[in-house]
Structures are given as structure tokens and as C-alpha cells.
Amino acid sequence: MSQKKKKTSLQTGELVVCNNAKARHNYHIEERMEAGMALVGSEVKSLRMRQGNLDGAYATIDSGEVFLHKMNIASYEHATVFGHEPKRSRKLLLHRRQIERLIGKLAVRGFTLIPLRVYFKNGRAKVELGLAKGLKTGDTREDIKRRIDLREARSAMGKGRR
């Protein structure tokens, strides 16, 4: 029985631009999905130089369309007067059925839509969205305690082998 190995970003042809590290710490991610991004040329060039930042970014659904807010894409230095605004709202490209399913899931209390990472896949800019539920302060403390206990147990096991 062979186990399927998870493909790395080099094997799938993905170029990761930025990750949202705080999202995994502050939220419990129930579901993930991939969406395209509607960008202008200077934004694409800036993202290829890995000049994106997801700190404080979030996604909303307005009149049947999904938008990404507060994502910072640094201005491209070689752009002329046709540059872009760094923190503008950007439209995300999803199928209608996916949007309708998201609307139903977001109606449940406590769920929110957050971007997890931005990357290029086959030359197209993509964003990985997570349907997430916020963690309480006690939950994060329990996580930290669990990690410390696990680390101590591993070190104790390692000392016994020598």
C-alpha cells in the first residue's frame, strides 16, 4: 500500500507570494478554497516580486460578488501614472455555486472568510480563502500548553534513547 505524498510548491509549479501566519493562530479553519484575483498589470508585477502582505486582510460578499479588502500590494516602482492603489479592494473570481455555498455557510454565526495565502499557479494569481471560526483566548492558551507538553515529552523520550 503506497501512501500519496503531498506535492510541494515546486512540484505543482506554484510561486508563493505571501502567507497569513496569524490566520492559523487566531482562527480554526473549517474549509479552504481557491479563488482567482482580478488585478491590474502593476499589481501582478509587484506580486511577482513578492511585494504582497495579508496582515489584516479579509474577504466579504457584496451583492453576489466576493471582494478582498485591506490586502497590501506595494506599488510597482517602474509603473507610470497607471500604477495602482496599494490597499484597494480587489474582486475575487469564484463560480456562482461556490459563492452561493459561501453565503449559506457565512450565515452561520461565528464564521468569517479570510485569505490564507497568495500564490501564482500556472501564471495566474490565486488566493486561498479559508472559511474560519474565531478562536477564544482560552483556546489559544490550550494550544500553547499542548505544544509545550508535546515538546517536553519528545525531549524526555530522546534522553532515554542515549
- CATH label of the domain that carries residue 30: 2.40.280.10
Return phi, psi of residue 28, to 5°: -100, 115
pLDDT at position 5:
55
Residue 1 confidence (pLDDT): 43
Q: Which domain holds residue 85?
A: 14-135
Residue 80 covered by a domain: yes
- 53-62 residue pLDDT tens: 888 899 999 9
Residue 5 lies in a domain: no
On the question of pLDDT at 114 being above 90, the answer is yes
The CA–CA distances, whole Å, from 58 to 12, 71, 73, 141, 149 equal 26, 8, 14, 24, 33
- β-sheet bridge partners, residue 133: 28, 111
Tell me the three cell numbers of residue 95: 463560480
144, part of any domain = no
- 130 within a domain of the structure (yes/no): yes
Residue 160 lies in a domain: no
Would residue 104 count as lying in a domain? yes
Residue 8 domain-assigned (yes or no): no
Q: What is the pLDDT of residues 66-110, one digit of tens each?
A: 999 998 888 877 776 667 777 889 999 999 999 999 999 888 888
Total number of domains in the chain: 1
115-156 pLDDT, tens digit per residue, is 999 999 998 999 999 998 887 766 677 778 888 989 998 888
pTM above 0.75, yes or no: no
